[in-house]
Amino acid sequence: MYGNYDGLNKGVIFDLHIGVNYWRTVNISDPDKRTIAEVIFVAPVDYIQVCLVNSGLGTPFISSLDLRPMKNRLYPFANSSQSLVLAGRLNAGPTDTTIIRYPDDPHDRMWEPWSNEPTWAEITTTSCIQNIQNDLFEVPSAVLQTAVTPVNSLELKTFWTADPLGKDPEYLANFHFSELMNLTKDQKREFNLIIQDVRFSSEPFTPAFLLSNAIYLDNPVHGLQQYNVTIKATVNSTLPPILNAVEVFMVLPVFDLPTDSADVSTINAIKSEYQIKRDWYGDPCAPKSYAWDGLNCSYAVSSSPRITVLNLASSGLTGEITNAFGNLKAVQTLVGDNVDLCYDGTECHQPKKKSGNSKIAIAIIAQHLTKIHHRNLVSLIGYCNDENYLALVLEYMSEGSLQDRLKGRPGSSWLTWKERIRIALDSAKGLEYLHKGCNPRIIHQDIKPHNILLNERLEAKIADFGVSKAFSSNDDTHVSVKDPVGTYGYIDPEYYVKRKVTEKSDVYSFGVVLLQIITGQPAIIQGTGPESEPVNVSQWVRQRLSRGNIDSVVDARMQGDYDINSVWNAAKVALECTEMSGVHRPTMADVIVRLQECIELEAAVGRNRNGVSRNGVNKKE
Ligand SMILES: *[C@@H]1O[C@H](CO)[C@@H](O)[C@H](O)[C@H]1NC(C)=O
Ligand SMILES: *[C@@H]1O[C@H](CO)[C@@H](O)[C@H](O)[C@H]1NC(C)=O
Ligand SMILES: *[C@@H]1O[C@H](CO)[C@@H](O)[C@H](O)[C@H]1NC(C)=O
Is the pLDDT at 391 greater than 70, yes or no? no
Residues with CB under 6 A from ligand 3: 234-236
Residue 451 pLDDT greater than 60, yes or no: yes
pLDDT above 80: residue 419: yes
Cβ of 57 closer than 6 Å to ligand 1, yes or no, is: no
pLDDT at 616 over 50: no
Residue 401: Cβ within 10 Å count = 20
Tell how far the Cα of 121 is from the centroid of ligand 2, in angstroms. 23
Distance CA 352, CA 418 (A): 47
| Interval 100-150: pLDDT, tens | 999 999 999 999 999 878 899 999 999 999 999 999 999 999 999 999 999
Q: Which stretch of 46-60, 350-364, 412-426, 546-560 has the lowest confidence by average pLDDT?
A: 350-364
16 compared with 481, residue with greater pLDDT? 16
Point out the ligand 3 atom lying closest to the alpha carbon of residue 190. Answer: 14
Query: Which atom in ligand 2 lies closest to the alpha carbon of residue 159?
Result: 1
Structure confidence at residue 482 as a pLDDT band (50, 70, 90): very low
Q: What's the pLDDT at 94? A: 94
Instruction: Report the atom number in ligand 2 closest to the C-alpha of 228.
Output: 1
Whether the CB of 530 sits within 6 Å of ligand 1: no
Distance 161 CA to ligand 1 centre (A): 15
Can you give the pLDDT at residue 375? Answer: 85
Please tell me the residue having the least CA distance from ligand 3 atom 10: 236
- Which residue's alpha carbon is at the smallest distance from atom 6 of ligand 2? 228
Cβ neighbors of 434 (< 8 A, separation 6 or more) are: 372, 377, 441, 442, 443, 444, 462, 468, 506
The C-alpha torsion from 543 through 548 and 552 to 557, rounded to 10°, is 120
- CA–CA gap between residue 54 and residue 65 (Å, rounded): 18
Those residues with Cβ within 8 angstroms of residue 535's Cβ, 6 or more apart along the chain or in another chain: 524, 525, 527, 543
Q: Is the pLDDT of residue 217 over 80?
A: yes
Given a cut of 70, whether residue 466 has pLDDT beyond it is no
User: What pLDDT, on a 0 to 100 scale, did the predictor assign at position 207?
Assistant: 96
Average pLDDT of the segment spanning 478-484: 51
CB-neighbour burial class of residue 214 (10 A; exposed 0-12, middle 13-18, buried 19+): buried
Q: Residue 25: CB within 6 Å of ligand 1?
A: no
Q: How many residues does the chain have?
A: 621
Residue 394: predicted pLDDT: 73
% of the chain exceeding 90 in pLDDT:
48
Asked if residues 395 and 378 have their Cβ atoms less than 8 Å apart, the reply is yes
Mutate to test the pocket of ligand 2, among 171, 224, 226, 230 (most ligand atoms within 8 A of CB): 226
Cα–Cα dist 285/264, whole Å: 9
Q: What is the pLDDT of residue 361?
A: 43
State residue 608's pLDDT score.
56
Q: Is the CB of 35 under 6 A from ligand 1?
A: no
Residue 342's pLDDT band, with cuts at 50, 70 and 90, is very low
- What is the pLDDT at residue 214? 95
Is there an atom of ligand 1 within 6 Å of 549 CB? no
Q: Report d(CA 559, CA 554) in Å as an integer.
A: 9
pLDDT at res. 328: 72
- Kindly identify the ligand whose nearest atom is closest to the C-alpha of 56: 1
Phi, then psi, of 257 in degrees rounded to 5: -90, 150
pLDDT at 49 (0 to 100):
85
58-62, 258-262, 353-357, 435-439, range with the lowest pLDDT: 353-357
Q: Could you tell me if 87 and 112 are in contact, meaning their C-beta atoms sit under 8 angstroms apart? A: no
What pLDDT does residue 472 have? Answer: 43
Average pLDDT, the chain: 83
**Greatest CA span in the chain, whole angstroms?**
125
Q: pLDDT of 253-284, one tens digit each?
A: 887 888 888 888 888 888 887 776 677 888 89
* 90 Cα to the center of ligand 2, angstroms: 21
From ligand 1's centre to the CA of 298, what distance in Å?
38
Cα–Cα distance list, 143 to 100, 206, 208 (Å): 7, 19, 16
- Closest ligand 2 atom to Cα of 197: 14
pLDDT at 615: 31
Distance 159 CA to ligand 2 centre (A): 9
- 259: nearest Cα among 192, 329, 326, 321: 329
Q: Ligand 1 centroid to 29 CA: how many Å?
A: 7
Task: Band the pLDDT of 479: cuts 50, 70, 90.
Answer: low
Residue 78 has pLDDT above 90, yes or no: yes
CB 29 within 8 A of CB 55: no
Query: Residues lining ligand 2, CB < 6 A?
Result: 196, 224, 226, 228
pLDDT of residue 270: 81
Name which of 317-321, 325-329, 381-385, 498-502 the model is least confident about: 317-321
Mutate to test the pocket of ligand 2, among 222, 228, 229 (most ligand atoms within 8 A of CB): 228
